[in-house]
Amino acid sequence: MLQRDSSFAKEALRYGLIVLVLGFIVFPIFWMIVTSFKPAADIMVSPPRFLFTPTLENYYHAIYDKNFLFYIKNTLFISVASTILVVVAGSLAAYSFARYNVGDGHILFFILSTKMFPAIAVILPYFLIFRDIGKTDAGRFLGIGLDQPGALIISYTMFNLPFAIWLLVSFFQDIPRELEHSARLDGLSRLKVLRKVVFPLAAPGIAVTGVFTLIFCWNEFLFAYILTRKAASTVTVGVESFFTLQGILWGPVAAAATISVLPMMVFVLAMQRYMVRGLTFGAVRG
Amino acid sequence: MSQSLSVSLPQQRRASGAVISDRWFSILLIAPAMAVILVFALLPLVYALNVSFRFADLTRGGIGDFVGLDNYRRVLADRAFWASVGVTVKFTLAAVILEMVLGIAIAFLIHSATKGKGIIRSLMVLPLATSAAVTGLFWRYLYDTQFGLINYFLGLLHLPQPNWLGDYTIALWSVVLFDVWQWTPFVALIALAGLQALPKEPFEAAELDGASTFRVLRTLTFPMLKPVLFLVLVLRTIDSVRLYDAVAVLTRGGPGTVTESMTFYLYRTGLKLFRMDYASTMAIFFLYAMLVASLFALTPLLKQFSNRASEG
């Protein structure tokens, strides 16, 4: 009897602690979503109000007055374009590393070391180079000057490739070689093997890598902040536009933040099984 | 190491229409990615290196004359630069230690839970989906001295209500706290994955032998978790040293310059004060430090990776 009581107490303590930890983790996000539905009069009050009549006025303000969907549109275009480039170039390279072991690991190591690269170290040259390219006709035509989507697409492709290649290599290594061998013996060319055997088998891994890349692009701030002013700004920079002379409009900020964060949360929840693997570049298979 | 997929019989090679060798095929496959990486990583580097040896004030006609090592000497003698290095080191130590300790503790806590692991994990991944620039901005509202929830709760408990972002002695710790909020779940998730992947047999044997919990942890659990924990440590350290987003939205380096991290100072010098020469020199220093550090951090990691690659 005593034994059972103490183990019950232990369980209760354990779950109590877990609830506390989860509360700390979830609360800021929860409060952000709650604030986004608060009327303006209930936001800047002390003590904070927990009961209020929910309203959509903050969303209205963010979408109509601040044109926040414009930033969503930019972000979507830039993130999707970068993701496609990363996934295509990354898959080809990763397959080559996984199967042919090009460069005997040295090239792969070099690629990983560019991941250590602090973005800030190249941001000034990027700024100057894109500024100069933007002044040329070709640059204007391709949209790769400052405050144009091309500049961000190039930056995001570069900065996500190393991670994507590492993650993809781990997925390609999971595919049994024998299948490719027999396809080759059946007379398929190497490209056909790639298209008809390898890529279909690696599709889940490629999709996971794509979603991770999309999330990283979507949430990126430094490049977006420095390489854009307005026309090509993404959500992370757009939220900053709610700083006004009268102070920060917390209600609309919360609404805009909720709009920009929610799609990524859905992705992350859907990808949960691969979270650990993705976040460690495929090193921990979780 | 990995065996190639070439089919050795000549007639089959012709039948499959292979006009190029395996070697060329494999090089062609990595060409697009390598081109992007070489052009957009190394070119800017060369550019930065070049600017760091010149006079380059954007307010006075852009990139100018060669000045030798002047910029390097000036950076090394610059108090603000060393102060920003100090901020970065302080932040990195505090954030990484807290995240590792708390993350590992949380991983053990969840690992021992019998029910609801799925839901627990789902809730834990949420901060990882958000951008520091977006949620960080909202944390300013939580930290607000007048309307913020944090001080409201502290008030209910009759605890002191600090000026989180405005107080010289506290501001940096407020940035640390935000980072801990966002990244502790990351450490916990990976440590948890490591715990769940541990083999059962050695632990059962230890239990039969009557080994104490502490001894099992010290001689079995931690040694077996070491590679995973080391990886998390390296990843978190790399990220923390680059601290920018949280500072940019929470404090903008203030009050004064007490939260000005190296990256933030570099950004301010280059793009607010337009001293590209000076900022590029700092970038080179930063990069050099990261390279030296990566020699120590990455070599063991790489060994682990390449062991796995040769198994695969």
Residue B13 has pLDDT above 70, yes or no: no
Task: Write out the two tokens for A26.
Answer: 């979830």
Q: What's the mean pLDDT in A104-111?
A: 83
Task: Write out the two tokens for B36.
Answer: 């992007």
pLDDT of residue B2: 44
pLDDT of residue B210: 84
Domain B71-200+226-311 -> CATH class? mainly alpha
Look at A189 and B36 and tell me if their CB atoms are within 8 Å.
no
Q: Which residues of B257-268 are buried (b: 16+ CB within 10 A; e: fewer)?
A: ebbbbbbbbbbb
pLDDT of residue B14: 45
Predicted ipTM of the assembly: 0.90
Percent share of chain B, pLDDT over 90 = 45
CB B1 within 8 Å of CB A104:
yes
pLDDT of residue B30: 93
Residue B15 has pLDDT above 80, yes or no: no
Residues forming beta bridges with residue A247, ordered by sequence position: A244
Q: Cis check for the bond before A252: say yes or no (omega within 30 of 0).
A: no
Helix axes B132-143, A2-36, angle to 10 degrees: 100
Question: Taking a contact as any Cβ pair under 8 Å apart, which residues of chain A between 182 and 201 contact chain B?
Answer: 184-185, 187-190, 193
The tens digit of pLDDT for each residue in A228-275 reads 988 899 999 998 888 776 778 899 999 999 999 999 999 999 888 888
The tens digit of pLDDT for each residue in B96-148 reads 999 999 999 999 999 988 788 889 989 999 999 999 999 998 999 999 988 88
Placement of tokens 């999971």 in the chain? A174
Distance of CA A136 to the CA centre of its chain: 31
The tens digit of pLDDT for each residue in A7-60 reads 888 888 889 999 999 999 999 999 999 999 999 888 888 788 888 889 999 999
Does domain A60-279 sit in CATH 3.30.1330.90? no
The tens digit of pLDDT for each residue in B258-311 reads 999 999 999 999 888 888 888 999 999 998 888 888 777 777 766 665 555 544
- HEC assignment per residue over B180-219: HHHHHHHHHHHHHHHHHCCCCHHHHHHHHCCCCHHHHHHH
Q: Shortest CA distance to A219 belongs to which of A28, A111, A82?
A: A82
Distance CA B242, CA A170 (A): 26
Distance of CA B196 to the CA centre of its chain: 24
Ordered alpha helix ranges (H), chain B: 10-15, 22-37, 43-52, 70-77, 79-112, 117-129, 132-143, 149-156, 171-196, 201-208, 213-216, 222-241, 245-250, 262-271, 276-311
Distance CA A154, CA A224 (A): 12
Mean of pLDDT over chain A: 88
The tens digit of pLDDT for each residue in B170-217 reads 999 999 999 999 999 999 999 999 998 888 888 888 888 888 888 888
Cβ neighbors of A29 (< 8 A, separation 6 or more) are A261, B126, B127, B130, B135
CB A36 within 8 Å of CB A53:
no
Cβ neighbors of A184 (< 8 A, separation 6 or more) are A190, A193, B5, B7, B16
Distance of CA A117 to the CA centre of its chain: 18
Placement of tokens 């055997």 in the chain? A197
Distance CA B53, CA B71 (A): 7
Judging contacts by C-beta atoms under 8 Å, the chain B residues touching residue A101 are 1-2, 309
Which residue type is seen at A198?
V
Task: Write out the two tokens for A148.
Answer: 């144009």
Distance CA B85, CA B272 (A): 19
Q: Across the interface, which of B7, B34, B133 has its CB nearest the CB of A221?
A: B133
Q: Shortest CA distance to B179 belongs to which of B98, B290, B83?
A: B98
Question: Taking a contact as any Cβ pair under 8 Å apart, which residues of chain B between 157 and 216 contact chain A?
Answer: 181, 184-186, 189-190, 193-194, 196-197
Stretch (H or E) spanning A164: helix A149-173
Residue B89 has pLDDT above 70, yes or no: yes
Cβ neighbors of A173 (< 8 A, separation 6 or more) are A98, B308, B309, B312
Instruction: Give the residue extent of every domain in chain B.
Output: 71-200+226-311
Q: Across the interface, which of B18, B27, B123 has its CB nearest the CB of A25?
A: B123
- CA nearest B147 in A: which residue? A46
Stretch (H or E) spanning B62: strand B62-66
Shortest CA gap A145–chain B (Å): 15
Residues forming beta bridges with residue B56, ordered by sequence position: B63
Helix axes A106-116, B276-311, angle to 10 degrees: 140
Shortest CA gap B59–chain A (Å): 13
Compute the count of residue pairs across chains A and B with CB atoms less than 8 Å apart: 320
pLDDT of residue B42: 85
Distance CA B244, CA B250 (A): 10
Q: Shortest CA distance to A276 belongs to which of B154, B193, B306, B141?
A: B193
